[in-house]
Structure 1
Amino acid sequence: MPFEIPAIVQDRVSARARETMKKIEHFVETECIPADEVYEAQISKDPSLRWKSYPPIMDDLKKKARAQGLWNLFLSKTHYSEGAGYTNLEYGLMAEILGRSHTGSESMNCSAPDTGNMEVLAKYGNAAQKKQWLEPLLDGKIRSAFLMTERFAASSDAKNINMHMRTEGNDLVLNGTKWWSSGACDPRCAVYIVMCKSEMNTSNDPFKQQSVVLVPAGTPGVTVLRPLSVFGYDDAPHGHAEVRFENVRVPRANLVLGEGRGFEIIQGRLGPGRIHHCMRSIGAAERALDYMIARVNDPNRRTFGKLISEHGTIRSWIAESRIAIDSCRLVVLNAADKIDRVDAKGALKEIAMAKIMVPRTVCDILDKAIQAHGAGGVCQDFPLARMYAGLRTLRIADGPDEVHLAQMGRNENGRAAAIIKKHEEQEKKRTELFRVYKIDGKSHL
């Protein structure tokens, strides 16, 4: 369906952003979606070549997008002078449109993990780091990877990471293994942003023992062991890699912000990124609903003498999906608006709500769309299976549901004392009113 800005945020969206959204929608619908299958077809089926090249149609899309000014839309000028200058709320709406297409985000240099990595460099990097890595990333000349998760640690609790970092003179020496390293397989990947832990922790604060280090791809001692698949999809050429570090040496100048500042950096990175993921997910849900509606109204596909859409169950699915999509959108926009007003740290509750709600809900919508397509829904003739594989991972990526639920539950339960006090005061007032009006104290509810 044509993109519409929700009425509740109409006054928060600038005329410039509105015009950009129209251009994005036209580009995604007329250029990116038709290119999606070509992109997949251009990825080599030869395992020995699959990770050594990338589809040439992507370069064509990038040239067209950049010529129209559709480039680096995610990065606010408050972080970097070359940013597009949109609010998180405005970019959230743009990201929804990008989420309709597999090639949409990358075509405009707005795809993960580069967006989060560029946020890190723009917000926390020094001048030399920005010159060496941020500028070519913004220019689309290189790509990057983000390495946080570890195979041998329950790294949903980031305090558990055990990638060792020690200092030797002017060098940092890294040892350990990372996996689900987004982007590390891409032949264009030039730098890894790595979360590690000092072997000689000087802080008693467990949140100040981690650091973020920039490691150039190809540094001696770094071995990309293998790409990991998601429900059978390897996501070439991007990939999610297992990467081993054996006495990897980089200059101490590659430390971002300072030793022990890792948690601060990563929280700053993941907050807006979670919103970007959620908005792209809503775009995927819209496209899944479109596919569902088209499929169940195909005049050549009738069951028991009726169009599939004429069966009550299917109509309920369509209605439930519309309600769910619109609900998710408002939750995400609320979080994006809160980030704009008080920064990501002040919007933890709203971000967590979106991160929990959206992937769950979109997976359910995709499941309905797949079911409506029958066997076709689980094969490569439609994009639904790939979309589901990607969306299901978001219930784990950037913190699993359970972590966000535990944090939200703890914070919400923290209101207990205030609630109990309020109820006691109300009960005291009720008792006084019963006495004044000479009513017995038994329940009259």
Structure 2
Amino acid sequence: MTSELKSSTLVDRAAQLIELARAAGADAADAVVVRSRSQSVSVRLGKVENTEASESDDFSLRVFVGRRVASVSANPGFDLKVLAERAVAMARVSPEDPFACLADEERLAKSYPDLALFDPTTVETARLREMALEAEAAALGVAGVTNSGGAGASAGFGGLVLVTSHGFEGSYTASRFGCSASVIAGEGTKMERDYDYDSRLYFGELDDPAEIGRRAGERAVRRLNPRQVETGQGVTVVFDPRVARGFVGHIAGAINGASVARKTSFLRDRMGERVLKAGLNVIDDPLVVRGSSSRPFDGEGVTGERLAMIEDGVLKHWFLSTSTARELGLATNGRGVRSGTMVSPSSTNLSLEPGEVSPEELIRSVGNGFYVTELIGQGVDMITGEYSRGASGFWIENGALTFPVSEVTIASNLKDMFMRVTPASDIDRKYGVASPTLAIEGMTLAGK
């Protein structure tokens, strides 16, 4: 399907836009085309609730006139000349932006690797329906499950074309397949809900729908008859990998160059200092073959490289696009992402690297504590690092998971949490953010 991006003249149309923008008076420009195709089916209680299919080709043109910049977007069928002239006219009356620019020419990818991101497998709507029904049936077959929140399956791909006025031209396509199930266990006021899902680039690697449904049902049943534990200080909280990925996301947010430039990160003055527990490493790698968030080049035509963002606990890099890097007096590291007409830095395949002990050994070492399987609310202040979120999971007693827990709050400060985290060995790298089970000492638990 990558070839379809080129054969459909999207690259040629993007290049025409650049030429017309230069003819209209732009000093520099870049054009992006994002192509997406998707279909999905959702079911509930054995019946199809919704079937969707979508197709789009979105064009974006960004032009520079001196230090002034403007961007416009359009769908297929627009007049190229009118769009280019409108963008240049907008730029001429825009305020100056001293940092907005194209990536330096010497940083542009002269060639880029094939990361095997596209699976050409065609999955018909009927097959998606079967997958969703299979997942739901397996979930409802778990003893204790009483209702369905629905199940779904999806397939699609997204493609990116980028052309710049200073010599870059490239395109790539990534496929995506998914399946999920959500169910309810229990009756009346004692109902509990949980879910499970899987998402892959390659259809053949997707977990069996029945297995996804079974896991969803078992998760929901395990949560029945929860208790509210006593309030305590200095509690060791263990994050299930599904929750731990969100914790790694907080690390990513704190080391995002855009947040540093805006002074909205609590780590903004900590470059070169220890910000994580000694021995811990956070890796970002855009060039993983078949990686969930891999990309052969970024939204500006720069190929990134594998970076130890945090090495042995010491902060080494920010995520940087060209404009953000210039604002900070640095150089881009190929983490620019197109979002509509904007370019901003972001992570790619990000991982908090695993430790040496198994999750079972880690839980045993805790003795008594709290194992979190779900977090509620958005109580995280990235300016100060203050952290307070509703949580549910299981109480750890004598090194083993015992009864389910709900309606409690865990709190601390991310600065302290980063320095007290211990990873297990069970990392799963199939998603764009990967983390093993994590134990964090010294948290406050607010219960009854």
Q: TM-score w.r.t. structure 1 length?
A: 0.24
Write 1 or 2 for the structure with the bigger share of helix.
1
Which structure's residues are more often strand, by fraction?
2
Q: Whose relative contact order is higher, 1 or 2, with alpha carbons under 8 Å and at least 6 apart?
A: 2
